[in-house]
Chain A
Amino acid sequence: MFGLKPDLCSIPMPETYLGADDYAKNAARWCPGCGGHSILSTVHKVCKDKQYAPEKTVFVSGIGCSSRFPHYMSTYGFHGLHGRAFPVACGVKFRRPDLNVFVVTGDGDCCSIGAGHWVHAIRYNMKMVVLLFDNAIYGLTKKQTSPTSRVGTVSNTHPKGSVLPPLNPIQTTLSISNVSFVAQTTDWHPAHLYATIRKAADHPGLSFVRIVQRCPVFMRDLYESAAADPGSLTLLKHDNGIVLDPAIEKTFKHVVSHDPSDINKAREHAEMKETIPVGLFYQNAENPNYDDYGAHNLGMTIAEKAAAINDMLDKYTN
C-alpha cells in the first residue's frame, strides 16, 4: 500500500484503504435532481475520510424516499418502519458500542409519526449521527402536507393550502433536555454539507443534522430559487462551529458569528426567517450518553453469569 511495507512505518496502517466508491452500493433510485443524491455522495466521502469499516457501520432508517438510503450503502443497514428509526438505532448501539450508527429519516418520519422517538432519542444522546432529510413534503406517498411544510403549501391533503405554521425542527431539538449537537445544512452546498456531516461524525453524542433538501418533484418552488441564489443562506460562523475553507466562506453573502456553546443565541438564530441559517447551532460534548450506561456491564462470561444467577437463586431457595 502506497508502496510502503507496513513494518517500515511506525504509524499503524489500515489493512486496506477504502475509497468513497467502496461505500456505495446499488444505483440510487431517487428522482433526477433530488437532494438525496448529493447527500449520499457526501456521506460516502465522510465514511471514506473516517475510514469506517463497512462491517462496523450501520445505517438505520424509517420509511420514505429518504429512508431508502441504507440500500445505497455497502455497510450494514436497517430499513425498518415508518417513524421508528430512532428506537431501532438506539437498540443497535446500546450493547454494541463498537458499531458506527447513522440514522436517516424524513420530515414525516421524524417530526410527525416518529416525533415521540425523536424527543427521546435526543435525550438518550447516544453516539450516532442523525440526518434529517427535510424536504417539507411527503415524497414517497406523493405530496401530502408535512409538519415542516410552510403555511399555504398546496398539497394533496390541503388542496387549498395548508393552514398551520410549520414545526421548526431546529428549535424543537434545541429545547430537548440533554441535546448535544444541532446543525443545519443544505443538499446544494456540498462543501458545507460535507463539513457539517464530518463534524457530526466526530461528535461524542447524538448529532442532529437537519438537511434542507430539495424535492424537485413535489416541492419545486420552495428551494429551487434558494439553491440558485447564494444570498439565500446565512452562515453561522465560529472556530468551534462548522469550519469552511476561507475561499468557500467568502461565497456566503450573509455571515453571522455564532458561538455554538450559546444555546440562547442558537434559539434566536433558529427563528431566522428571511434566509436559511446554516452551521452549528449548538454543541455540548459533556452531556451524558445513554449508550455508556447500556454498555457498562458488557462482556461477562457465561460462567460468571451462571454463578451470579446461582447466588440470586439462593435467596429464593428453601
Chain B
Amino acid sequence: MEKAATSAKEKNTSAKGTSPVIIDEAIVEIVSDSGEGAQKCGQSFGAISAKMGNGVWTVEIIPAEIQPPARSREGASGIRVRVGSKKVTNMGDQAHLVVALNEQVLFGRISQQAYKEGTVLLIENKWAQSEQENIRKQYAEALAEFKERGYQIIEIPMEVECLKIVRDAQKGKNMWVLGMICYIYGREVQKSHDQIKGIFRKKAQKIIDSNIALFDSGYNWAKENLDFNYEIPAMAVAEDQVVMNGNEAISFGTMASGIELCSMYPITPATSASHHLADYFEKAGGVVHQAEDEIAAIGFAIGASYAGKTAITITSGPGLALKTEFIGLAVMAEVPLVIVNVQRGGPSTGLPTKVEQGDLLAALFAETGDAPKIILAPATIEECFHFVILARKLAEAFRTPVILLTDANLATGVQPFPRPKINQEWFAGPIDQSPWKEDVRPYEWNAENGLSKRPIPGQKNGMYTLTGLAHDEKSRVAYEPDSNQRSMEARSRKMAAFQQTLKKPTINGDETGDLLIVGWGSTLGAIDEAVEKARAMGAKVSALHLRFLFPLEPGLKEIFSRFKKVMTVEINYSDKLGDPMITPENRRYAQLAWYLRAQTLMDIDCFSNVYGQPMSPGKVLDMIKQELNIK
C-alpha cells in the first residue's frame, strides 16, 4: 500500500491477489454527494464486520442541508467506519482509506482534519473525462493538491465498471464500492451477500440480483487491480451481539422499560429515536404522539405520567429550552417523567447535526427557582439502552423528572454490544387502581428522606388537585413561609437520599498520579483510548467517567485529591488562558469543570472545544502529552 500507484489502470496486473497484510484496525470513510448511498454502503460494511466478530464504530458524516448542491465542498455526505480486532469505542483519528465519489467533497473532510499523510484516497475517475471543462479542471487541480498534501491517490473507474452491469450507475454504485472495500479488508463474501439480501428484502428479486452483481463486480475488480489487501482478525465473542445506534438503543430501552408513550416534536438529531419507536412501539404496547410543539409534547407526557403511565419525551437543545417551564412543574409537583436530550451544537439553532455537550448546565439549572432533578449521561450505546430503563424506575421511585443527556455522536454512532436479555422486572407494572388509604396525604413527605407516594387517578379516596403553586402535604395551595421551606427541603432531600445509594466511580488507571481526566457522555471511548496510549508511554494519567450528573457520584473530592492535576475533557466551549482578553479571573470553564469546581472547591481545569466533531483520541493524547511534558 505504501507504494500504491497513482492510477489503477496503469498498474501491473501481476500484483493482483496479493496475500493480505494483517492489521489491528482500519478507519474507512465513504464520502459523496448526499443521496448516493454512501451511508448504506458504510453501514453494510460495519454490519458485515460486526458479523465477522470485529469491533466496529460507525459514524455518519452529515451535511447540514438536506440537498446541498452536487460536488460542493461543504456537501460531504457519507460515513466513517472504524473496524478493529478489539472492541472499538469511538471514531478514532485520521482515516486510513477513503472512497470518494467525487473529489470536491473531500475538501470538507480535509478541513475537518479527517485525513493525514499517507491516507489512501480511492477516487471516482469519471470526472477526468467530464464534458464540462471546469469539472475536468477542478478534478485535476484537486488531485494535484491532494498529492501535495501527501495523500495516496488511486483513481478508480467506478462509473465505467458499474455501467457494465446497470444502465444507471447512480443507482448501485454504493454496492460496487461495498464490494471493493470488502475485498480490500477481506470481508466474507457470503456474509456480504446476506447483508445485501437483507437491505433489499422488500424489493424485487431482480433488484437483489443486480445489487449482488454490482458487489461482485467491485470485489473482483479490486482483486484484479489493487496490489494491497488486509485482514483484521476478529475477536472471540461468546455472546450474541446486537448492532445499533444510540437513538435506536434509546428506543429499545423505552420499550423495555414498559413506557407506553413517547410524546415528541421532531428535532435533529433526536428525531430518529422517535422514528424507530414509530416503527416498532405499537407491537410493544406503546404509541408515539407527535405533538404540536415541544411544550405540548412534554405537557402531554406529564398528563400521561400524572395519570399513571410514565411517559418519555425526546428532544434536543432548542426543544429542551421550550420544555423548561414544564420541567419545573414536574419537579414542583413531583411527576415522574423521562426526558431525553440528544445534545447538538448550541446556543439557539446552532449546529443541528453536530455533536456538543453544551446542555449540562441547562439540564441542571434552566428552571427558575430551585428545581433539583435526576440527570444521567450514558457513555456508550449500550448504556443508552439500559439508562432509559433505569431512568423510568428512578423517576417513579423518586417521583421526579429524570433527564438523560446523550448527544449527536451517540445518536448516530453504531456499535455492537451484547444482546440485552430482556428482563420482565424492567417493565412498568399495570397502574395501581386499588383504593388509596384515606388518611395518607398526596405529598406525605418522609421527614428524613423527603419521599412520598402519589395517588393515581382511578384510585378511590386519593383525589387531590396537583398544582405548580407552592403547596402543602395535602396539595393545597399554601403561601405560608414554613410550608414553602419544608416542601423545598423534601424535594432536595430526595436527591440526597438517592445520592447515598450511588457507588463511588471507578478509575481507569492508577488510583493516584499526575493527571486525572474526568469526562462524561460520549467522550468515554476517546478518553480511555488516549489514556491507555499515554500510560503505555509512561504517563501517570488516569481517567474517571461520570454517569450520574445530578446528584453527583460520591467521593469525587477525595479521588481528585490524589492527583496532581484534575482536568475535564468535554465537547463544549471554554476560554483558554493566554487567549486575548482571557484572565484567570474572567476565564469561563467547560460546563462539567465549572460544576465540579463549585462542588469540590478544587482547581479543576478543562480541555474542551466546539468544532462540532466527536472528541478524538488523538486530540486528547496530544493534550495529555502537553500537560505532562511528554515528547
Contact = CB atoms under 8 A, between A and B. Distances in A.
Nearest to B303: A91
Tell which of A55, A58, A59, A79 has the most Cβ of chain B within 10 Å: A55
A89 to B, nearest CB: 6
A24 to B, nearest CB: 12
A92 B307 contact: yes
A91 B299 contact: yes
A95 B256 contact: no
B443 interface: no
Contacts of B70: none
Contact of B300 (A73, A88, A310, A311): A88
B467 A79 contact: yes
Given A95-B304, A95-B309, A84 B467 contact: no
Contacts of B241: 317-318
A55 B459 contact: yes
A228 interface: no
Instruction: Provide the main secondary structure of the chain A interface.
Output: helix
A123 to B, nearest CB: 9
B252 A309 contact: yes
A87 B300 contact: yes
A71 interface: yes
A317 B240 contact: yes
Contacts of B285: 297-300, 304-305, 308
Given A73-B465, A95-B304, A309-B422, A316 B244 contact: yes
A119 B419 CA distance: 44
B283 A76 contact: no
B306 A88 contact: yes
A77 B465 contact: yes
A163 B380 CA distance: 57
Using C-beta atoms within 8 Å of the partner chain, give the interface range for chain A.
35 or more
Contacts of A75: 463
B463 A74 contact: yes
Contacts of B244: 316
Contacts of B469: 79
B416 interface: yes
Nearest to B285: A300
Contact of B427 (A60, A116, A306): A306
Given A91-B302, A294-B287, A116 B293 contact: yes
| Interface hub of B256, B261, B292 (most chain A Cβ within 10 A) | B292
B146 interface: no
Nearest to A117: B296
B280 interface: yes
B308 A96 contact: yes
Q: Is the interface of B mostly helix, strand, loop or mixed?
A: mixed
Nearest to A302: B427
B296 A87 contact: yes
B383 interface: no
Contact of A81 (B240, B256, B284, B325): B325
Nearest to A82: B325
B328 to A, nearest CB: 9
A92 B285 CA distance: 17
A36 to B, nearest CB: 15
A81 B327 CA distance: 11
B155 interface: no
A125 to B, nearest CB: 14
Residue among A56, A84, A293 facing the most chain B CB atoms (10 A cut-off): A84
B317 interface: no
Interface string A150-185: 000000000000000000000000000000000000
Contacts of A294: 287, 289
Contacts of A86: 296, 299
Nearest to A293: B287
A87 B291 contact: yes
B300 A318 contact: no
Contact of B307 (A96, A296, A302, A304): A96
Most chain A beta-carbon contacts within 10 A, residue among B244, B457, B467? B457
A80 B465 contact: no
Given A304-B285, A305-B427, A96 B299 contact: no
A98 interface: yes
A290 B429 CA distance: 25
B468 interface: yes
A48 interface: no
A297 B298 CA distance: 22
A205 interface: no
Nearest to A306: B422
B260 interface: yes
B263 A91 contact: yes
A89 B255 CA distance: 24
B463 A76 contact: yes
Nearest to B308: A96
A86 B295 CA distance: 11
12 contacts: A59-B465, A76-B464, A81-B468, A91-B261, A91-B302, A96-B307, A99-B457, A293-B287, A297-B285, A305-B255, A311-B283, A312-B280
Given A75-B463, A88-B306, 6 more contacts: A76-B465, A79-B466, A79-B467, A80-B466, A117-B296, A309-B256
A-B pairs, top 3 by smallest CB distance, nearest first, are A91-B303, A77-B465, A87-B299
